[in-house]
Amino acid sequence: MGVSDGGLSGIADLNVTQPDARQNDDAAPTSRRYYVEETRRRPMPGRRRPIESVPLMSRHVLTVHRHAARRLLVLATSVTAFWACSKADGDSATSDSSAASASADSADAARPALALPVSAEEASDADLVLRVTTTGQVRSDAVVKLKAEVPGTVARVLVRPGQQVTQGQELVRFDAYPFELAVREAAARSDEAEQRFLESYVPESLVTGQGPTPEQRRALMNKAGLTGARLQLERAKFEQDRAVIRSPVAGTVDAIDVAVGEKIGAGQPLLTVVDTRNLRIEAQVLEHDLPLIRVGGEAVVSSAATGGRSLPGRIEAVLPLVDSVTRAGRALVRVRNDGALRPGMYADVSLEAARLRNRRLVPAKAVIERDGRPLVFVVRDGRAQWTYILPGRSNGSFTEVLPDSVTGEIPVKAGDPVIIEGHLTLTHDAPVRVRTPDA
């Protein structure tokens, strides 16, 4: 196919060539490809090329190029607009992020640091009591095993095991009727004896007008049996009173050994009452510690039953004998029980051995070490400031603070609040908030 009209010489000639008709054996026989070669010529001045004179293949190719160019123009415009919008959004986001970061930095700078909750106690000037620590067994001052003083039948048991009782409170009652009969019988015999006694001297006294002398009166009473009858009446009343068993001490009922309706003989066990308030502790003290303790010294008692609380006491006595096997003596510690201790328990006992007068003391649990140096945290203006100290002797509860070896001054003042809880991970000058005991 070629261009046949010379009037189109000003337009690019289109030479259509056909590729080699030789095909591979496995290619499709209808596969034909055409190549359009365009040769541009300089158009002649003053002449215009009518579009309809362009051959069909050339017009098709030009239409394809125009559509492609239009699509490319639209695509380029879209990409440019998208890039411009993205840049504007990016700039806006960057500015917003910068503003937010600056605002956050200023807020962080303005926000106060978090104050950590801690517990503190004040340093004080007091006596440091050095102690001997040992163990002992709790014993009651009164473990009363009540027994029947008179025979009888149990009518009522008025208490139960574990019940608190007061001194003089009724515990058990016997059947009262036999005792009432015994009293009336003894009273009747006493009346008979008194009648015989009167008959022995009244008639003669009426005649002579003189009564018997004291010796004669005593002899007549014995002869009439009045003295014996009166003693029998007194015994009957005594046994009647002993038919009601009362508690001799204030305490707790431990065991009841009788039941209602049971016949009891004299001397048979009835029940046990234990005084749980007035307790003593027999503390074992090694022989080399015995010279350090003294009667009247302070004692501190603690046990698993007290829940970490300590009970104050006094050294009541230091017993003279030393066990030849354990090489330990015994010290009796008097303690006022609040209901936590019970007879038979074992307790830890701290006995006063020496007293160092007027020392600067801090709680022992306030002292920690940093880099091998002991220190305490002192709260000043809401800040925990560590203060290096030179510790002296300690009794487990308090530690003595000695003067600095260079300045000669004690770095902790009396009344300074030192942290005892929450200070193991604190740093110097950390903000803290001291908890109140109720918090």
- Does residue 438 carry a pLDDT above 70? no
Q: What is the pLDDT confidence band of residue 99, given thresholds at 50, 70 and 90? A: very low
- Confidence at residue 71, expressed as pLDDT on a 0 to 100 scale: 61
- Does residue 45 carry a pLDDT above 70? no
- Confidence at residue 76, expressed as pLDDT on a 0 to 100 scale: 56
Phi-psi domain of 257 (left: phi exceeds 0; alpha: psi -120 through 50; beta: other): alpha
- Confidence at residue 44, expressed as pLDDT on a 0 to 100 scale: 47
- Does residue 16 carry a pLDDT above 80? no
- Confidence at residue 396, expressed as pLDDT on a 0 to 100 scale: 83
CA-based Rg of the chain, rounded to a whole angstrom?
58
pLDDT digits (tens, 9 = 90+) for 144-201: 999 999 999 999 999 999 999 999 999 999 999 999 999 999 999 999 998 888 888 7
Residues linked to residue 343 through DSSP beta bridges, in sequence order: none
Maximum alpha-carbon separation in the chain: 205
- Confidence at residue 317, expressed as pLDDT on a 0 to 100 scale: 94
pLDDT digits (tens, 9 = 90+) for 67-87: 555 665 555 555 555 544 454
Q: State the average pLDDT for the chain.
A: 79
- The model's pTM is 0.52
- Does residue 8 carry a pLDDT above 60? no
**CA–CA distance, 90 with 96 (Å, rounded to integer):** 10
Q: What is the pLDDT confidence band of residue 17, given thresholds at 50, 70 and 90? A: very low
